[in-house]
């Protein structure tokens, strides 16, 4: 089968398309014929090892000391179950599924094995495989943080980075929960964020949201660009500051600030679960959540796809269509 191999850390050019052996599922695994995957910001960081110096040691232990521990990169797949292991009970051949895993999924390939105990679920029936692949990374993260912030109807929510993978999902999910949503993005993405349901949009190239007088019940920074001090000042009593991109120094600041405040401060990793994927499936099928795709590349153009993601300006998701001979 065709698969992308990461031979070392570095620029997108370290990714090579090769012929490799087709995997066989273990007892509790399913073999998925992959039709689509994505290039997430997490994939780009894992490939380049572009992590803060303070995260260097734990990241090396997780990702690999001298080169990527996982030869075939990728965190998300959408496809059809081709076969199952002897102990699999939840899935059968022919099931249309999607899956998301931060470290154990070899997604950039024509076939991938996934444990039925990982974040694996039936894909939404009303979307394509490409659209299904565009759901997990951003929507799982957005759902995790909004729930951590105890979002509820009537709250005023600001989403910084509203046009990215996490941001486009967060805008829609916050509206689903009944919130009044303000999105922050660049000029080029204002129309997109409005179309996703934001009640108002702040163009950060023209004004800083912190200079406004508005206050919020939740401030969700999806890209790690907000000031903690400014955000705390603009949070209402009992509000929540949600930070999807953290560093050790910021986590320490948040921990210290939480001791002096009645506000909830959350900065952590959103780990995917099968329950989350199933919940998102229901929302997509109900028309409450729509995947946003910026560009779609064939697997053969994985290097170009990573180059585009490295620019840092993608709208929603970059999808890889995996074609089979």
pLDDT in tens, 94-104: 999 999 999 89
Residue 165 pLDDT > 80, yes or no?
A: yes
52 and 6: one domain? yes
The answer for residues whose C-beta is within 8 angstroms of residue 82's C-beta and 6 or more apart is 31, 32, 33, 93, 111
73 and 160: one domain? no
The predicted structure's pLDDT at residue 249: 86
Helix (H) or strand (E) holding 258: helix 248-259
For helices 136-148 and 165-176, give the axis angle rounded to 10 degrees.
50
The predicted structure's pLDDT at residue 65: 67
The predicted structure's pLDDT at residue 60: 67
Does the residue 97 lie in any domain? yes
- Tokens 């734990």 belong to which residue? 58
The structure tokens listed for 71 are 């030869």
Range of the domain at 44: 2-135+291-321
Distance CA 22, CA 57 (A): 33
Does the residue 23 lie in any domain? yes
Distance CA 162, CA 184 (A): 6
Q: Each residue of 53-67: b (16+ CB within 10 Å) or e?
A: eeeeeebeeebbeee
28 and 103: one domain? yes
The structure tokens listed for 140 are 């799982």
- Tokens 């979002």 belong to which residue? 151
Statement: the pTM of the whole predicted model exceeds 0.75: yes
- Tokens 């585009």 belong to which residue? 308
Q: Please, are residues 291 and 318 in contact by the beta-carbon 8 Å criterion?
A: no
pLDDT in tens, 20-71: 999 999 999 999 999 999 999 999 988 987 766 656 566 666 666 667 778 8
58 and 29: one domain? yes
Does the residue 273 lie in any domain? no
Residue 218 pLDDT > 60, yes or no?
A: yes
The predicted structure's pLDDT at residue 57: 65
**The total number of structural domains that make up the chain:** 2
In percent, how much of the chain has pLDDT > 70?
94
Q: Where are the strands (E) in 270-324, listed by range? A: 293-298, 317-321
Does the residue 13 lie in any domain? yes
Does the residue 219 lie in any domain? yes
In percent, how much of the chain has pLDDT > 90?
86
CATH number of the domain within which 150 lies? 3.40.50.720
Query: What are the φ and ψ backbone dihedral angles of 95, each rounded to 5 degrees?
Result: -65, 135
Residue 121 pLDDT > 90, yes or no?
A: yes
pLDDT confidence bin for 280, thresholds 50/70/90 = very high
pLDDT confidence bin for 72, thresholds 50/70/90 = very high
CATH number of the domain within which 311 lies? 3.90.180.10
Does the residue 159 lie in any domain? yes
The predicted structure's pLDDT at residue 136: 98
Query: What are the φ and ψ backbone dihedral angles of 128, each rounded to 5 degrees?
Result: -75, 170
What's the mean per-residue pLDDT of the chain? 94
Q: Please, are residues 165 and 138 in contact by the beta-carbon 8 Å criterion?
A: yes
């Amino acid at each position: 089968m065709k698969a992308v191999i990461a031979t070392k850390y570095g620029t997108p050019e370290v990714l090579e398309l090769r012929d490799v052996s087709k995997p066989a599922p273990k007892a509790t695994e399913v073999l998925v014929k992959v039709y689509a995957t994505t290039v997430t910001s997490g994939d780009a960081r894992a490939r380049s090892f572009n992590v803060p110096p303070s995260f260097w040691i734990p990241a090396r232990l997780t990702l690999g000391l001298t080169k990527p521990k996982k030869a075939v990169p990728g965190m998300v797949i959408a496809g059809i179950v081709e076969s199952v292991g002897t102990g699999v009970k939840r899935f059968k051949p022919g099931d249309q599924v999607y899956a998301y895993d931060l470290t154990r999924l070899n997604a950039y390939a024509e076939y991938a094995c996934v444990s039925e105990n990982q974040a694996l679920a039936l894909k939404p029936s009303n979307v394509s495989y490409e659209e299904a692949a565009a759901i997990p990374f951003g929507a799982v993260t957005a759902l995790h943080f909004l729930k951590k912030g105890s979002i509820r109807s009537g709250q005023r929510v600001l989403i910084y980075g509203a046009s990215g993978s996490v941001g486009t999902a967060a805008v829609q999910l916050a509206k689903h929960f009944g919130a009044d949503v303000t999105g922050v993005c660049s000029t080029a993405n204002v129309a997109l964020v409005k179309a996703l349901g934001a009640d108002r949009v702040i163009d950060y190239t023209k004004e800083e949201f912190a200079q406004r007088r508005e206050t919020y019940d939740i401030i969700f920074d999806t890209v790690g660009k907000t000031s903690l001090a400014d955000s705390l000042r603009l949070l209402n009593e009992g509000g929540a500051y949600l930070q999807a991109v953290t560093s050790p120094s910021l986590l320490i600041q948040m921990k210290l600030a939480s001791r002096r405040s009645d506000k909830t401060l959350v900065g952590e990793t959103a780990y995917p679960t099968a329950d989350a994927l199933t919940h998102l499936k229901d929302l997509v099928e109900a028309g409450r959540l729509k995947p946003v795709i910026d560009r779609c590349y064939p697997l053969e153009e994985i290097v170009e796809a990573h180059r585009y993601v490295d620019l840092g300006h993608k709208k929603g998701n970059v999808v890889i269509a995996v074609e089979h001979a």
